């Protein structure tokens, strides 16, 4: 969104104080100690990332169940549409609800989005032809996109300066927790099933999570940054007091921040001037998108195609689905571990190197999977390769592509730059989610893994070649939180 960088500047760039106390004895928001109210804001705002990755995991579980029930067989293209339609909705929702939040406030959007998820999931439960399910998944994706458009702003503006970056990263990491929780719930629900006809019951997981999110936000406060950007300083102070306590003082930003640094170039001119930056931030994000959402959505199907589920080949198909979900839980746990590894070192290591080696490690993990598949090695070797893929992908590219654009683009162009990079990233995710089942159908699992290896190596190549030129190792920029609303 073109105007997001302006709003962000107004919402969070408060003048710093030399100490944590001001004249009246209250605590300065910028450098106060971390408190319980800020952890609560982190939890409430992070639920969008939680439910977003949870939805992707759920889609990957219900697709093979729908395929099992289909007569005739569900076409690969339809599977691809089911896989990517929520991602398309997410991309549109980020823009649509982002604009709405500019006008109506963050809290309105924060309440509308889970309500939308509840309605769409219930419709898909009661009426579930494939075409209607696609529409409902698109609407659910819209809801997730709306969550993504506001979550990091809520978090970053309410955190002490030294905690901003880590907490926004922690919010991103909560996506992996959502994958673990949804996969685990699906497993405990379906483990006794002998037929797949009850798959619509799994949609109640989204209904329940969205309901919890809505309840958490009934008694919540409007974004102080949004209130401040609309000149409602007194209301912004009340919001801070509600969230953090009456002893917390929020510095008032300079009014000129609302109008300074307006970009004058057209989008075409901006793109022509920033080709190297766009390639550096956008192409790796698209490569990462294939891994996170292309492979991520179809993990259960890939597990069954690789033959690494611990079930006899002659067992009923539903038994294979249940076991693939069990392995998906394990892989989702390693997603969380990968994020933790990345967060632990992200302030100490060169981000270009982290992303480059993350892509290389992901490709190596996929290479192990491919070798095990082609040479018929034991299943544990394939699973080990999958684990390595998830660890390196989430410790490196999944976290770092989220950060780099805000370090590359100056504030005056950050909204355009980050938005364009995120759009390229989402395009890669949609392509991956659409074409993986098509490749599986026509060329087999080996082709899917081989293409994914090439994509990961492409991400490493682009990052390694362009990174040092665009973002030298000596470059230091801690203002990385603007990127999050576009992700």
d(CA 57, CA 335): 12
| pLDDT per residue of the chain (487 residues) written in tens, 0 to 9 | 333 333 333 333 344 433 444 335 477 777 788 888 899 999 999 999 999 999 999 999 999 999 888 767 788 899 999 999 999 998 888 878 877 887 888 899 999 999 999 999 999 999 989 999 999 999 999 999 889 878 877 887 888 888 877 887 888 889 999 999 999 999 999 998 988 889 999 999 999 999 999 999 999 999 888 888 788 888 988 998 898 888 887 776 554 344 444 555 676 888 888 899 999 999 999 999 999 998 999 999 999 999 888 888 888 889 999 999 999 999 999 999 999 999 998 878 899 999 999 999 999 999 999 999 999 999 999 999 999 999 999 999 998 887 788 778 775 666 567 777 878 888 899 999 999 999 998 999 999 999 999 999 999 999 999 999 988 876 544 444 444 444 4
- State the CB neighbour count (10 A cutoff) for residue 25: 8
Write out the two tokens for 250. Answer: 């929020």
Instruction: Tell me how far apart the alpha carbons of residues 351 and 345 are, in angstroms, rounded to a whole number.
Output: 10
Report the alpha-carbon distance of residue 434 to residue 55 in Å, rounded. Answer: 16
43/174 Cα distance (integer angstroms): 9
Residue 241 burial (CB count, 10 A):
18
Q: What is the DSSP-derived secondary structure letter of residue 26? A: P
Q: Which residue has the tokens 């069954």?
A: 304
Spatial separation of the C-alpha atoms in residues 140 and 120, rounded to whole Å: 6
What do you get for the CA distance between the two ends of the chain, in Å?
12
Contact (Cβ atoms closer than 8 angstroms) between residue 291 and residue 362: yes
User: Into which CATH architecture does domain 34-220+261-486 fall?
Assistant: Up-down Bundle (1.20)
Residue 380 to residue 402: CA distance in whole angstroms: 32
Euclidean distance between CA atoms 188 and 374, whole angstroms: 33
CA nearest to 24, candidates 220, 230, 233, 237 = 237
Tokens of residue 27, six digits: 């605590």
Beta bridge partners of 21: 27
Q: The tokens of 148 are what?
A: 């993504």
**β-bridge partners, 27:** 21, 248
H-state helical runs in 127-163: 130-158
Between CA 29 and CA 22 the distance in angstroms is 10
What beta strand segments (E) does 78-188 contain?
none
Backbone dihedral angles phi then psi of residue 28, each to the nearest 5 degrees: -75, 125
Q: For the chain, what percentages of helix, strand and coil (3-state, to nearest 5) are there?
A: 80, 0, 20
Compute the distance between CA of residue 67 and CA of residue 76 in angstroms, rounded to an integer. 9
Cα 36 from chain centroid? Answer: 25
Structural domain boundaries in the chain: 34-220+261-486
> In terms of pTM, does the model score above 0.75?
yes
Distance, CA of 485 to CA of 475 (rounded, Å): 23
Task: Kindly state the tokens that stand for 167.
Answer: 């907490």
């Amino acid at each position: 969104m073109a105007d997001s960088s302006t709003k962000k500047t107004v919402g969070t760039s408060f003048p710093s104080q030399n100490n944590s106390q001001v004249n009246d004895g209250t605590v300065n928001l910028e450098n106060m100690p971390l408190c319980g109210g800020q952890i609560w804001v982190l939890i409430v705002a992070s639920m969008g990332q939680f439910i977003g990755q949870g939805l992707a995991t759920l889609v990957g579980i219900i697709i093979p169940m729908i395929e099992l029930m289909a007569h005739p067989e569900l076409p690969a293209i339809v599977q691809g549409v089911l896989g990517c339609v929520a991602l398309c909705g997410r991309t549109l929702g980020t823009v649509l609800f982002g604009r709405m939040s500019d006008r109506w406030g963050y809290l309105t959007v924060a309440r509308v989005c889970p309500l939308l998820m509840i309605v769409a999931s219930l419709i898909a439960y009661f009426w579930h032809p494939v075409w209607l399910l696609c529409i409902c998944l698109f609407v659910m994706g819209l809801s997730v996109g709306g969550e993504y458009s506001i979550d990091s702003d809520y978090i970053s503006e309410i955190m002490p300066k030294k905690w901003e970056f880590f907490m926004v990263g922690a919010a991103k990491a909560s996506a992996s927790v959502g994958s673990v929780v949804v996969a685990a719930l699906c497993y405990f629900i379906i483990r006794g099933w002998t037929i797949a006809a009850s798959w619509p019951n799994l949609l109640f997981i989204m209904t329940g999570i969205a309901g919890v999110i809505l309840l958490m936000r009934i008694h919540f406060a409007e974004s102080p940054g949004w209130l401040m950007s609309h000149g409602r300083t007194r209301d912004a102070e009340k919001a801070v007091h509600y969230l953090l306590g009456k002893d917390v003082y929020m510095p008032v930003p300079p009014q000129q921040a609302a109008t300074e640094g307006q970009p004058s170039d057209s989008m075409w001119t901006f793109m022509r001037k920033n080709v190297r930056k766009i390639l550096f931030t956008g192409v790796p994000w698209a490569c990462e998108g294939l891994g996170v959402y292309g492979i991520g959505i179809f993990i259960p199907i890939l597990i069954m195609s690789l033959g690494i589920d611990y079930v006899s080949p002659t067992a009923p198909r539903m038994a294979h689905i249940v076991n693939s979900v069990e392995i998906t839980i394990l892989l989702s746990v390693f997603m969380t571990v990968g994020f933790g590894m990345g967060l632990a070192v992200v302030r100490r290591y060169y981000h270009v190197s982290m992303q480059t080696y993350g892509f290389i490690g992901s490709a190596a993990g996929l290479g192990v999977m491919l070798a095990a598949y082609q040479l018929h090695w034991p299943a544990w070797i394939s699973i080990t390769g999958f684990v390595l893929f998830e660890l390196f992908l989430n410790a490196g590219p999944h976290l770092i592509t989220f950060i780099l654009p805000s370090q590359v683009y100056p504030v005056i162009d950050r909204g355009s730059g980050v938005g364009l990079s995120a759009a390229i990233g989402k395009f890669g995710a949609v392509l991956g989610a659409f074409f993986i089942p098509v490749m599986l159908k026509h060329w087999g699992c080996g082709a899917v893994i081989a293409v994914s290896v090439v994509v990961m190596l492409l991400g490493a190549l682009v990052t390694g070649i362009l990174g040092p030129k665009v973002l030298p190792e000596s470059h230091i920029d801690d203002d990385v939180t603007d990127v999050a609303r576009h992700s």
